[in-house]
Structure 1
Amino acid sequence: MPRVRPIRTEAIVLRQRPLGDADRICVLFSPTRGRVEAVAKGVRKPLSKMSGHVEPLSRGQFGLAQGRSLYVITDAQNLDPWSQLHDDVERMTEALAMAELVDRSTDADAYSGQLYQLLRQSLEALALTSSPEAVRRWFTLRFLDQQGYRPELDACVRCRAEVGPEGNGYAPADGGVICPSCHGAGHGQRLSSPVFRLLRYMRRSSVESTAQVRVDAAASTELERHLRLSLEQALDGRLRSSSFAEDLARAETIGRSAVKSAAESEREEQHRAAI
């Protein structure tokens, strides 16, 4: 049987899970190979040189060899550690939510260049921004677009009438905005003028510009609801848990635990150094 040559690919580490006593299975997202599961051998050992190169929510260059059932990481070079994501609870929460969406929507051995660039751009912005939630919302709109579920915001999805900012509804199952007449007939959830304008602005603006927009609590809650329903519509049949809201709550718990663990480790190191 001919020997399969190792693969080299750039990838973002979406997540990892333990394997045995010393190894981890890393879920990588590659622009040319889509979602790849690969074993990182020995990375749970204290002196592992590879462990720092396969951290979740980091970008690297990887060598992969085909094993019996999974790839094996033969070497790894960290390109972007994005340490700011790991040091801040809110950034970690939003980054995990974006990684979860990519994880769910990507197949193995599938070209994913556009989505890879979107995730990379969003994580880079997330590492620098003071508005992590805004970056994740910007990512979500473009993710929906790439999945073929771009919300219609210019014309009523039921009667095709042009819509202004007032009196509209929003119906993800129908594909977007509902005009005042159709909304008055019982179609769609209320779409307030501020959120309607914000959705349009986010659609045409850069992530940096979107992150500068201040959103009050009521508009923020409404916007999250509409985006969540749109995501559930887009990922119907591919969701691994009951709702995206539960995933966000789980991501926040993981994010807080990760930041807490990192802080505790740093304190322990400082304590040992002081002894």
Structure 2
Amino acid sequence: MNLTQERILKVEAVVLEHHEWGEADRLLSLFTREHGRLRAVAKGVRRIRSRKAGHLEPFTRVALVLARGRDLWIVTQAETLEANLALHGDLEGIGYASYVVELLERLTYEEGPNPDLYRLLVETLRHLDENLDPPALILRYFELHLLDLAGFRPELKECVTCRRPIQPEDQYFSSALGGVLCPTCGKLEPSARPVSMNALRYLRHLQRSTYAEARRARPAPTVAGEMERLLQDYLSYILETRLNSPEFLRQVRQPLNPANHLPPTSSSESPL
């Protein structure tokens, strides 16, 4: 669909963020199921009597009617489909959801439908809101599948240099080369960093699994931390900058909350 020819749009969307616009309006960043990322203005939404305000908070899934304005879409109707209220209940919830939103915005472009990515966003925010699984698992799953959908899937099955299948032993990972290296090639690659066998096994499990299957993962806290650092370095290399929300999360999680990590299990219980 050519949006330049459309005057009215009916969309389902997640509100990513908003900014004050004029005296009483807000500029919304939306990720829609039908058209990908869009920007729209919610007129008068900052007034006390506005009926739309409660429907247009960040991380909310909404049904919208948009009308073509001079430069931007204008929200004419809004209905909440999924409020995700728990995400606004504390700083950690806001931090996790903000990280998801920031990463999505950095790896996507405005306009262009991507229903699989929309579904991943909706389900990730829902998992964070329900708080049934540790945030570490939810975020690693989101990162790996977002990278896949955005065209930056890291190679985790075979050495990116010699193309030999990865063996069950400690390996190396290179953000510059986009994947794992065997011990022989890794020692010769200046950009490579060591990665443990356990961290790589869990990363591969999350990458290839549905979320229902991924929930079985139970890495020890040290392994979970290694996975997080590896993916943060890879994302920073792709984006050519550090993200803002991880630093915010590190600050609000001090001292570290053990609930953010999955409890370890014996190797016999591993799904890998």
Give the shorter-chain TM-score range: 0.7 to 0.9
**CA distance in structure 1 between the partners assigned to 2:185 and 2:124 by the alignment:** 36
Q: Does 1:225 align with 2:223?
A: no
> What is the aligned partner in structure 2 of residue 263 from structure 1?
none
Unaligned runs of 5+ in 1: 237-241, 256-275
> What is the aligned partner in structure 2 of residue 143 from structure 1?
146
- One-letter amino acid matched to 1:231: L
Which has more helix, going by share of residues? 1
> What is the aligned partner in structure 1 of residue 261 from structure 2?
none
How far off is 1:196 after superposition?
0.9
Q: Does 1:21 align with 2:23?
A: yes
How far off is 1:55 after superposition?
0.6
Encode CA deviations 1:79-122: one digit per residue, 9 max, x unaligned.
00011211243332221111112222322221121211111121
- The SS at the match of 1:141 is helix
**CA distance in structure 2 between the partners assigned to 1:251 and 1:71 by the alignment:** 33
- The SS at the match of 1:8 is strand
**CA distance in structure 1 between the partners assigned to 2:246 and 2:169 by the alignment:** 30
Contact preservation (8 Å) 2:59, 2:84: yes
> What is the aligned partner in structure 2 of residue 43 from structure 1?
45
Aligned residues: 247
Q: Does 1:215 align with 2:219?
A: yes
Per the alignment, do residues 31 and 4 of structure 1 end up closer, same or farther by CA in structure 2, a change over 3 Å counting? closer
**CA distance in structure 1 between the partners assigned to 2:54 and 2:32 by the alignment:** 19
Matches within 5 A, 1:82-93: 82-93=84-95
> What is the aligned partner in structure 1 of residue 104 from structure 2?
102
> Cα RMSD (Å) of the superposition?
2.2
Share of identical aligned residues, percent? 35
Per the alignment, do residues 214 and 88 of structure 1 end up closer, same or farther by CA in structure 2, a change over 3 Å counting? farther
Give the counterpart of 1:134 among 132, 137, 141.
137
> What is the aligned partner in structure 2 of residue 204 from structure 1?
208
**CA distance in structure 1 between the partners assigned to 2:216 and 2:46 by the alignment:** 40
Unaligned runs of 5+ in 2: 254-272
Contact preservation (8 Å) 1:10, 1:59: yes
> What is the aligned partner in structure 2 of residue 185 from structure 1?
188
Tell me the TM-score normalised to structure 2 length. 0.83
Tell me the TM-score normalised to structure 1 length. 0.83
> What is the aligned partner in structure 2 of residue 258 from structure 1?
none
**CA distance in structure 1 between the partners assigned to 2:162 and 2:188 by the alignment:** 12
- The SS at the match of 1:190 is strand
**CA distance in structure 2 between the partners assigned to 1:251 and 1:11 by the alignment:** 26
- One-letter amino acid matched to 1:165: P
* Larger CA deviation: 201-210 vs 143-152: 201-210
Give the counterpart of 1:175 among 168, 175, 178.
178
* Larger CA deviation: 39-48 vs 138-147: 39-48
- The SS at the match of 1:213 is coil
Encode CA deviations 1:16-37: one digit per residue, 9 max, x unaligned.
0111221111101012211111
